[in-house]
Amino acid sequence: MKNIEIERRFLLNNENWRDFIQKSFLLKQGYISVEKECAIRVRIVDESAWLTLKGYISDTTRSEFEYEIPLADANNMMQHLCPFKIEKMRHLVEYQNFIFEIDEFFGENAPLVVAEIELPNEHADFPRPDWLGEEITSHGHFTNAYLSKHPYGSW
């Protein structure tokens, strides 16, 4: 279904995933809303920016509406509308024809590192490399929205 994101999240067992990195880039995210029912995010990557609305369906599934916006607008929103922010380095890691997005958090969320994989359905099978650790999909305090308001370093 269009505008649906099905995603599972994991902690990592080791650093072996680094051998599979295809690309890395810095993400700056600010949150207008961090509510579980509806998170509203501004994201900046290099010279591009997006406004994203996510609605809760289940721990693995969310509705997602994402729109590219002018960088100047995103910077303005970040400054004036986003009280909660995070920065992280995202690494795209290919493993057995699947792409894992591995996020290394900065600032008060360091040294947290989380792997995410988007799937076609909630029960889709996918490879479990040795570096994939405990599943945290159902632990809401590991969502980016929650981390922006309650940094990992303060737990």
pLDDT tens for residues 43-80? 999 999 999 999 999 999 999 999 999 999 999 999 99
Q: Give the mean pLDDT of the chain.
A: 97
Domains in the chain: ranges and CATH:
4-154 (2.40.320.10)
Residue 32 pLDDT: 98
pTM: 0.94
* 106 CB-contact burial (10 Å; exposed 0-12 / middle 13-18 / buried 19+): middle
Q: What residue type is 79 in one-letter code?
A: Q
Average pLDDT over residues 8-13: 98
- Spatial neighbors of 118 by CB under 8 A, at least 6 apart, are 5, 6, 7, 99, 101
The encoded tokens of residue 15 equal 């650093």
Question: Which active-site residues does the annotation give?
Answer: 31
* Helices marked H in the chain: 71-80, 144-149
Residue owning tokens 């995933």: 17
Using 50, 70 and 90 to split pLDDT, how confident is the model at 2? confident
